[in-house]
Amino acid sequence: MNRTLLVTSSPRGADSLSTRFAIQIAEGILGHSGGSLAVRDLAANPPPHIAPAYIEGRITSPEERTPEQIEAVKIAQELVDELKAADVIVLGSGMINFGPSSQLKAWFDHVTWPGITFSYGDTGPKGLLVGKNVYLVTAAGGVFSEGAWAPFDFQTNYLLHLLGFIGLTDVEVVRVEGTVLGPDALQAAIANTETAVKSLLAKVA
């Protein structure tokens, strides 16, 4: 049975295009392939920013952890367990100040866990979350896939790096961009993304 994990992170709620299209992809995959869907809304339920209790707790043996460390590691373990259980991961991210939201960054800070989701060997770091399909939806007000603003896309490339670092290298990227360049540009961006999503889901069927 296919298990899909949908992770959304935009604080824009119902107005978020990254969330809208991530949901569309997740539900489309579910409709084509069946299985189960787990949802992690990082805007509605943000993970805490990492603190000493987490940094120290994850390298402390379970029986020696303080209550604060136990709780901090428990949060991270829950997020990692969701990732491990998923066959398909759909991740939505809206650009904020040229990068992902702090909620999404905090999520990655919890799931990027030495010895759990990546390890170091003779040839360098090795991602441990392998054999999963990822669909990454990134939204931006400007156009960052090409042109003068491309060097300032610290969202898509950064997320691809983090995903790959923990072993998630089979990634399809769907961009929603140019949404603040006027009403016509917004409608064109939505139409282009609708087409991209339909094409993507046709390959899943």
Binding positions are 10, 16-18
φ, ψ dihedrals at 8, nearest 5°: -115, 155
Helices (H), the chain: 17-33, 52-57, 67-85, 102-111, 156-165, 183-204
Going by their DSSP bridges, the two strands 124-127 and 118-121 should be labelled as antiparallel
- CA–CA–CA angle 143, 10, 57 (5° rounding): 120
Give kind and range of the element (H or E) at residue 175.
Answer: strand 171-177
Q: Which of 48, 42, 40, 37 is closest to 9 using CA atoms?
A: 42
Residue ranges of the annotated binding site for FMN are: 10, 16-18
Show the tokens assigned to 55. Answer: 């940094």
Q: Of the candidates 29, 55, 38, which has an alpha carbon nearest to the alpha carbon of residue 202? A: 29
202: number of Cβ within 10 Å:
10
Inter-residue contact 3 to 30 (CB < 8 Å): no
